[in-house]
């Protein structure tokens, strides 16, 4: 996608903030699958999260003229959580601003662009680069939610002791309670890389679990490459995998995620099967997988009932910045501004956001370790 042009008189924070909040982000596979564009902009830095449980109660019968019988509500657990703060910046000296080479072209000045326009364009490119870093962090957060489980909880954030390993970033963590039976580890001959595993039984187990917990069927399965390799090599899967029965929604997703590290393999027992291999570089410079967070694929298969995720959302907390507060523009997904320092002569571009993806019904996701 070509970089939109910012003119020199649009370098103020108001335009830059509006610019970033209106640029369509690149498709992020997990974020789109589990949240579908659902977002909630907060006027506060924290949010009260509620976890929904309990939809299997029967309404009691009463006599025609009898008093109504009081009933309890669905079980809901509340927690007040501060949205994590992302605040990043990039300094840019005069050479970087005015002599930055464009792909397949000469440098800005040799192209005849005015100096001010060259600087504005360089700032726009840096803004988009940092905004995409934030999108990557959100995808990482979603990947953690759907694939990282500890003691029967969805876990988002870092270990309180070891942190993220870079010694600089703030450590932040929430745990979302959920049922223990939606975390499955296959053992012995049941593993998909064994001689004759019963994959149909595993898929049926998932369907029964989701029917039990959220009264909804699985609508998607995402595998890492190790799980997909084992799955696709099975004779029973080769026979029963439907590579032709693709509905319009799946076709749209295939087109949208064509370059996002997602591979569509077909449907099995009525469930669309995706393989997700996209990687990121963490704070220590280590390349890891968005699905599972490990350096290599571990054999994960994630099942989800998307109809039970319709009230999940990505919260955005307010931006704690003087310019943002003074203007009243602190409510939004992104805040951006740039400023110039005279000595040394440097322009600095800053982008800030406070995203928190939250799955309100954590039992709508089943995590299966198949190897």
Give per-residue pLDDT as tens, 144-192: 999 977 667 788 877 655 556 555 566 778 888 889 899 999 999 999 9
- Write down the pLDDT at residue 229: 96
Q: Write the burial class of residue 160 (CB in 10 Å: 0-12 exposed, 13-18 middle, 19+ buried).
A: exposed
Dist. CA 218–CA 366, nearest whole Å: 9
Instruction: For the chain, give every domain's residue range.
Output: 8-19+28-54+77-369
Query: Which residue has better confidence, 52 or 300?
Result: 300
Q: Model confidence at 215, in pLDDT bands (50, 70, 90)?
A: very high
**pLDDT over 50 (residue 327):** yes
Q: Which two tokens stand for residue 267?
A: 């449907």
Dist. CA 91–CA 8, nearest whole Å: 18
- Write down the pLDDT at residue 123: 78
Dist. CA 353–CA 322, nearest whole Å: 14
Give per-residue pLDDT as tens, 66-112: 777 676 655 566 678 889 889 999 888 777 766 665 554 444 444 55
Residues 236, 200 contacting (CB under 8 angstroms) = yes
Query: Which residue has better confidence, 275 or 92?
Result: 275
Residue listed under structure tokens 């704690």: 320
- Write down the pLDDT at residue 126: 85
* Residues linked to residue 183 through DSSP beta bridges, in sequence order: 367
End-to-end Cα, the chain, rounded Å: 39
Dist. CA 158–CA 71, nearest whole Å: 40
**pLDDT over 80 (residue 142):** yes
- Which residues, including other chains, have CB under 8 Å from residue 346's CB and lie 6 or more apart? 91, 92, 93, 340
Dist. CA 132–CA 286, nearest whole Å: 19
Query: Which residue has better confidence, 190 or 250?
Result: 190
DSSP 34-52: HHTT-EEE-SSSEEEEEEE
Dist. CA 348–CA 345, nearest whole Å: 10
**pLDDT over 90 (residue 132):** yes
DSSP symbol at 25: P
User: Considering the domain 8-19+28-54+77-369, what is its CATH architecture?
Assistant: 2-Layer Sandwich (3.30)
Q: Model confidence at 124, in pLDDT bands (50, 70, 90)?
A: confident
Percent of the chain residues past pLDDT 70, beyond the cut: 77
Q: Model confidence at 8, in pLDDT bands (50, 70, 90)?
A: very low
**pLDDT over 80 (residue 367):** yes
Q: Write the burial class of residue 269 (CB in 10 Å: 0-12 exposed, 13-18 middle, 19+ buried).
A: middle
DSSP symbol at 8: G
Q: Which of 119, 268, 274, 278 is nearest to 199 (CA)?
A: 268
Report strand pairing: 313-316 vs 39-41: parallel
Q: Which of 80, 86, 82 is nearest to 138 (CA)?
A: 86
CA 197 to chain centre: 32
- Write down the pLDDT at residue 160: 58
- Write down the pLDDT at residue 252: 58
**pLDDT over 70 (residue 4):** no
Q: Which of 34, 2, 225 is nearest to 128 (CA)?
A: 2
Within a 10 A sphere around the Cβ of 307, how many other Cβ atoms?
Answer: 13
Q: Model confidence at 54, in pLDDT bands (50, 70, 90)?
A: low
- Write down the pLDDT at residue 127: 86
Strands of the sheet containing 86-93, edge to edge, are: 86-93, 346-353, 335-341
Q: Which two tokens stand for residue 212?
A: 């039990």
Give per-residue pLDDT as tens, 15-29: 778 878 888 777 789
Residues 183, 213 contacting (CB under 8 angstroms) = no
Percent of the chain residues past pLDDT 90, beyond the cut: 41
Q: How far is the CA of 63 from the CAs of 72, 163, 255, 309, in angstroms? A: 20, 60, 57, 38
- Write down the pLDDT at residue 113: 54
Residue listed under structure tokens 């994959």: 199
Q: Write the burial class of residue 71 (CB in 10 Å: 0-12 exposed, 13-18 middle, 19+ buried).
A: exposed
- Rg over alpha carbons for the chain, rounded to the nearest Å, is 24
Q: How far is the CA of 69 from the CAs of 28, 53, 64, 73, in angstroms? A: 48, 21, 12, 13
């Amino acid at each position: 996608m070509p970089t939109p042009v910012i003119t020199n008189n649009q370098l103020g924070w108001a335009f830059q903030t509006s610019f970033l909040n209106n640029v369509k982000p690149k498709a992020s596979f997990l974020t789109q699958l589990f949240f579908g564009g659902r977002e909630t902009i907060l006027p506060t830095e924290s949010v009260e999260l509620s976890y929904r449980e309990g939809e299997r109660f029967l309404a009691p019968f009463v006599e025609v003229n009898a008093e109504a019988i009081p009933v309890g509500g669905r079980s809901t657990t509340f927690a007040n959580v501060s949205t994590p703060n992302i605040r990043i910046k990039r300094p840019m000296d005069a050479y970087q601003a005015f002599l930055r080479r464009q792909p397949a072209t000469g440098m800005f000045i040799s192209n005849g662009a005015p100096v001010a326009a060259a600087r504005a364009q360089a700032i726009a490119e840096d803004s988009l680069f940092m905004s995409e870093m934030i999108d990557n962090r959100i995808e990482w957060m979603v990947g953690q939610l759907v694939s990282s489980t500890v003691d029967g909880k969805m876990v988002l954030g870092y270990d309180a002791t070891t942190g993220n390993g870079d010694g600089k970033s703030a450590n932040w963590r929430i745990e979302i309670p959920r049922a223990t039976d939606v975390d499955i580890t296959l053992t012995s001959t049941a593993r998909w890389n064994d001689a004759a595993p019963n994959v149909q039984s595993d898929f049926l187990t998932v369907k029964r679990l989701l029917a039990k917990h959220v009264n909804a069927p699985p609508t998607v399965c995402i595998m890492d490459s190790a799980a997909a390799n084992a799955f696709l090599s099975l004779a029973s899967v080769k026979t029963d995998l439907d590579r032709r029965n693709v509905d319009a929604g799946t076709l749209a997703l295939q087109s949208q995620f064509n370059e996002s590290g997602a591979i569509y393999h077909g449907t099995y027992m009525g469930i669309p099967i995706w393989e997700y291999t996209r990687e990121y570089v963490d704070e220590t410079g280590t390349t890891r997988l968005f699905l599972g967070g490990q350096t290599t694929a571990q054999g994960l298969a994630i099942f989800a009932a998307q109809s039970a995720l319709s009230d999940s959302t990505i919260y955005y907390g307010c931006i704690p910045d003087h310019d943002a507060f003074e203007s009243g523009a602190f409510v939004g997904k992104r805040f951006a501004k740039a400023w110039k320092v005279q000595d040394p002569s440097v322009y600095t571009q800053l982008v800030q956001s406070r995203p928190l993806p939250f799955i309100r019904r954590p039992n709508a996701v089943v995590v299966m370790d198949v190897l």
